[in-house]
Structure 1
Amino acid sequence: MLVTTTDELKGYKVTEVYGIVKGSSIRAKHLGRDIAATLKGFVGGELKGYSEMLDEAREEAKNRMIEQADRKGANAIIAVRFVSSQVMSGAAEVLVYGTAVHITKE
């Protein structure tokens, strides 16, 4: 499955549009990550535990979107966008969406 943030694919023609597909993942903070983040807040630097958590959430959301597009018969997803938001204290949602299409080489 080809997944891209662009609206068009050079060298390909969109032959069918199946509509919007999406995937999401909600992840909660882990107590150990919170403690490490608090300590890191004093000295500065990347919060690797949170970065890993968000990477995992993005990957899971993307996989769910791809599964949805596959069920519709698509072979590509164009105009993909990622959005994140805080759902509640200590939990974040990552949402990914795009347009499921069928493409052929020109």
Structure 2
Amino acid sequence: MIITTTNKVQDKKILEYKGIVFGEVITGVNFLKDLGAGLRNFFGGRSQGYEKELSSARTEALEEMKERAKKIGASAIVGVKMDYEVLGADNGMLMVTCSGTAVVIEE
């Protein structure tokens, strides 16, 4: 399935609009990753633990959106947007959401 941030798929005609689809993932960041990130914040450098968690959450959200699009008969998703938020009393949760328009494109 083609997933794109553009409003169309190059060289393909959109035959039908199926509706808006979403993917949402909320994941906790564990104590060790938080500790490592705190040290990197103090000393400088990248936080690989947070980066891996973010990458994994983004992949899961896109997969969830793709599965929802398949269930309604779509063959592509256009106009995809991604958003990231920190949640929880101690900001220990990461929310990744994505949305797009599920469409049927010519083969």
Normalising TM by the smaller chain, what interval? over 0.9
1:49-97 alpha-carbon deviations (Å, 9 max, x no partner): 0010010000001000000000000000000010011221210100011
1:12-62 alpha-carbon deviations (Å, 9 max, x no partner): 000010010001100111111011111111211111100100100000010
| Distance of 2:54 and 2:85 partners within structure 1 | 11
TM-score (norm 1): 0.95
Question: Among residues 69, 89, 92, which one is paired with 1:90 in the alignment?
Answer: 92
Where in structure 2 are there 5+ consecutive unaligned residues?
Answer: none
Counting matched residue pairs gives: 105
Give identity over the alignment, percent. Answer: 37
Deviates more, 1:72-81 or 1:3-12: 3-12
SS of the aligned residue for 2:13 comes to strand
Match for residue 19 of structure 1?
Answer: 19
Amino acid at match of 1:78: V
1:81 maps to 2:81: yes
TM-score (norm 2): 0.94
Where in structure 1 are there 5+ consecutive unaligned residues?
Answer: none
> Which portions of structure 1, spanning 4 or more consecutive aligned residues, are displaced by more than 6 angstroms?
none
Match for residue 103 of structure 1?
Answer: 105
